[in-house]
Amino acid sequence: MTDTIPAWVNGDLRPVDKLEVHRRGLRHKAVSVFVLRGTEVLIQQRAAAKYHTPGLWANTCCTHPAWDEDPAACARRRLDEELGITGLAPVWRDRVEYRADVGGGLTEHEVVDLFVARARPDMPLAPNPAEVMATDWVDIYALAARTTRHPEVYTPWLRIYLAEHMNTIFGDLVTF
Protein backbone atom coordinates (compact mmCIF):
# COMPACT_ATOMS: atom_id res chain seq x y z
CA MET A 1 0.00 0.00 0.00
CA THR A 2 1.63 3.21 -1.12
CA ASP A 3 -0.85 5.82 0.13
CA THR A 4 -2.18 4.57 3.45
CA ILE A 5 -4.01 6.33 6.26
CA PRO A 6 -4.89 5.24 9.81
CA ALA A 7 -8.33 3.59 9.73
CA TRP A 8 -10.30 1.39 12.05
CA VAL A 9 -11.01 -2.10 10.69
CA ASN A 10 -12.93 -4.50 12.94
CA GLY A 11 -12.13 -2.27 15.91
CA ASP A 12 -8.38 -2.14 15.27
CA LEU A 13 -6.49 0.91 13.99
CA ARG A 14 -4.35 -0.07 11.02
CA PRO A 15 -2.88 1.49 7.86
CA VAL A 16 -5.31 1.10 4.93
CA ASP A 17 -5.07 2.34 1.34
CA LYS A 18 -6.68 5.79 1.20
CA LEU A 19 -8.96 5.02 -1.74
CA GLU A 20 -10.12 1.77 -0.13
CA VAL A 21 -10.92 3.66 3.08
CA HIS A 22 -13.19 6.03 1.15
CA ARG A 23 -14.78 3.31 -1.00
CA ARG A 24 -15.67 1.30 2.09
CA GLY A 25 -16.55 4.33 4.22
CA LEU A 26 -14.16 3.22 6.97
CA ARG A 27 -13.79 5.39 10.03
CA HIS A 28 -10.37 7.07 9.84
CA LYS A 29 -8.18 9.82 11.29
CA ALA A 30 -8.14 13.33 9.81
CA VAL A 31 -6.94 16.85 10.55
CA SER A 32 -8.65 20.12 9.57
CA VAL A 33 -7.20 23.62 9.95
CA PHE A 34 -8.84 27.05 9.89
CA VAL A 35 -6.50 30.04 9.52
CA LEU A 36 -8.03 33.28 10.77
CA ARG A 37 -7.38 36.94 10.11
CA GLY A 38 -9.65 38.82 12.49
CA THR A 39 -13.10 37.37 11.80
CA GLU A 40 -12.08 36.22 8.33
CA VAL A 41 -11.15 32.64 7.56
CA LEU A 42 -8.95 31.51 4.70
CA ILE A 43 -10.78 29.03 2.49
CA GLN A 44 -9.55 27.12 -0.54
CA GLN A 45 -11.11 25.82 -3.71
CA ARG A 46 -9.97 22.24 -4.20
CA ALA A 47 -8.01 21.51 -7.38
CA ALA A 48 -9.88 20.05 -10.35
CA ALA A 49 -7.69 16.94 -10.28
CA LYS A 50 -8.63 15.93 -6.72
CA TYR A 51 -10.12 12.43 -6.60
CA HIS A 52 -13.18 13.62 -4.71
CA THR A 53 -14.98 16.96 -4.33
CA PRO A 54 -12.86 18.71 -7.02
CA GLY A 55 -13.59 22.40 -7.45
CA LEU A 56 -15.52 22.70 -4.19
CA TRP A 57 -14.61 25.23 -1.50
CA ALA A 58 -13.24 23.88 1.78
CA ASN A 59 -11.67 25.14 4.99
CA THR A 60 -8.06 26.34 4.93
CA CYS A 61 -6.68 22.81 4.67
CA CYS A 62 -7.43 19.25 5.67
CA THR A 63 -5.73 15.91 5.36
CA HIS A 64 -5.19 12.47 6.78
CA PRO A 65 -2.22 12.12 9.13
CA ALA A 66 0.52 9.64 8.43
CA TRP A 67 0.73 6.61 10.69
CA ASP A 68 1.68 7.79 14.23
CA GLU A 69 1.98 11.42 13.05
CA ASP A 70 1.13 13.97 15.73
CA PRO A 71 -2.03 15.88 14.67
CA ALA A 72 -0.45 19.31 15.30
CA ALA A 73 2.61 18.37 13.25
CA CYS A 74 0.28 17.11 10.54
CA ALA A 75 -1.61 20.43 10.57
CA ARG A 76 1.63 22.40 10.14
CA ARG A 77 2.87 20.05 7.41
CA ARG A 78 -0.35 20.33 5.43
CA LEU A 79 -0.50 24.13 5.67
CA ASP A 80 2.92 24.16 3.99
CA GLU A 81 2.15 21.44 1.40
CA GLU A 82 -1.18 22.89 0.28
CA LEU A 83 -0.70 26.64 0.71
CA GLY A 84 2.97 27.34 1.34
CA ILE A 85 2.15 28.62 4.83
CA THR A 86 4.90 28.16 7.41
CA GLY A 87 5.60 29.45 10.89
CA LEU A 88 2.06 29.26 12.30
CA ALA A 89 1.22 27.51 15.57
CA PRO A 90 -2.16 25.81 15.10
CA VAL A 91 -4.14 25.51 18.34
CA TRP A 92 -6.13 22.30 18.89
CA ARG A 93 -9.83 23.05 19.38
CA ASP A 94 -11.55 19.66 19.57
CA ARG A 95 -12.00 16.25 18.01
CA VAL A 96 -15.25 15.60 16.12
CA GLU A 97 -16.59 12.73 14.06
CA TYR A 98 -18.72 12.92 10.94
CA ARG A 99 -19.80 10.77 8.02
CA ALA A 100 -20.56 12.25 4.58
CA ASP A 101 -21.08 11.10 1.01
CA VAL A 102 -18.46 12.89 -1.10
CA GLY A 103 -19.66 11.57 -4.46
CA GLY A 104 -18.37 8.96 -6.87
CA GLY A 105 -19.23 6.14 -4.49
CA LEU A 106 -16.88 7.54 -1.83
CA THR A 107 -17.61 8.27 1.82
CA GLU A 108 -15.68 10.29 4.38
CA HIS A 109 -16.12 8.86 7.90
CA GLU A 110 -13.61 10.93 9.77
CA VAL A 111 -12.47 11.39 13.33
CA VAL A 112 -11.08 14.90 12.92
CA ASP A 113 -8.69 16.91 15.06
CA LEU A 114 -9.71 20.54 14.49
CA PHE A 115 -7.13 23.34 14.64
CA VAL A 116 -7.29 27.13 14.42
CA ALA A 117 -4.32 29.39 13.70
CA ARG A 118 -3.90 33.15 13.44
CA ALA A 119 -2.46 34.51 10.21
CA ARG A 120 0.56 36.75 10.40
CA PRO A 121 0.00 40.21 8.89
CA ASP A 122 2.67 39.59 6.25
CA MET A 123 1.82 35.93 5.65
CA PRO A 124 2.43 34.96 2.03
CA LEU A 125 0.38 32.30 0.28
CA ALA A 126 1.83 29.96 -2.31
CA PRO A 127 -0.97 27.52 -3.20
CA ASN A 128 0.11 24.18 -4.63
CA PRO A 129 -1.81 23.90 -7.95
CA ALA A 130 -2.09 20.12 -7.55
CA GLU A 131 -4.11 20.78 -4.38
CA VAL A 132 -5.66 24.24 -4.63
CA MET A 133 -7.34 26.17 -7.48
CA ALA A 134 -8.04 29.38 -5.56
CA THR A 135 -8.09 30.92 -2.09
CA ASP A 136 -10.25 33.57 -0.47
CA TRP A 137 -10.57 35.34 2.86
CA VAL A 138 -14.21 35.32 3.96
CA ASP A 139 -15.95 36.56 7.09
CA ILE A 140 -16.74 33.41 9.07
CA TYR A 141 -20.37 34.40 9.66
CA ALA A 142 -20.89 35.26 5.98
CA LEU A 143 -19.33 31.91 5.06
CA ALA A 144 -21.73 30.04 7.35
CA ALA A 145 -24.66 31.79 5.64
CA ARG A 146 -23.27 31.05 2.16
CA THR A 147 -22.86 27.33 2.89
CA THR A 148 -26.57 27.23 3.74
CA ARG A 149 -27.68 29.24 0.69
CA HIS A 150 -25.36 27.52 -1.83
CA PRO A 151 -24.33 24.15 -0.35
CA GLU A 152 -23.42 22.72 -3.75
CA VAL A 153 -20.22 24.81 -3.97
CA TYR A 154 -18.85 23.76 -0.57
CA THR A 155 -17.44 20.45 0.62
CA PRO A 156 -19.70 18.34 2.83
CA TRP A 157 -17.26 18.59 5.73
CA LEU A 158 -17.13 22.40 5.64
CA ARG A 159 -20.93 22.49 5.69
CA ILE A 160 -20.95 20.07 8.64
CA TYR A 161 -18.29 22.02 10.55
CA LEU A 162 -20.19 25.29 10.19
CA ALA A 163 -23.65 23.84 10.83
CA GLU A 164 -22.75 21.59 13.77
CA HIS A 165 -19.41 22.68 15.23
CA MET A 166 -19.06 26.41 14.60
CA ASN A 167 -19.18 27.32 18.29
CA THR A 168 -16.59 24.64 19.12
CA ILE A 169 -14.23 25.93 16.43
CA PHE A 170 -14.84 29.69 16.65
CA GLY A 171 -16.77 30.21 19.91
CA ASP A 172 -14.13 32.41 21.52
CA LEU A 173 -13.02 34.01 18.27
CA VAL A 174 -12.45 37.39 19.89
CA THR A 175 -10.28 36.08 22.73
CA PHE A 176 -8.46 33.30 20.87
Give one DSSP letter per residue of 9-39, joined into a string: ETTEEEEEEHHHHHHHT-EEEEEEEEEEETT
Cα distance between residue 31 and residue 10, in whole Å:
22
Catalytic one among 61, 74, 82, 110?
110
Catalytic one among 62, 74, 82, 108?
62
Any catalytic annotation for residue 97? no
Any catalytic annotation for residue 74? no
Sign of CA dihedral 114, 175, 158, 3: negative
Rounded to the nearest 5 percent, the helix, strand and coil shares of the chain are 25, 40, 35
Phi, psi torsion values for 72, nearest 5 degrees: -65, -40
- The total of other beta-carbon atoms located within 10 Å of residue 151's CB is 14
Question: Which residue numbers are catalytic?
Answer: 62, 110
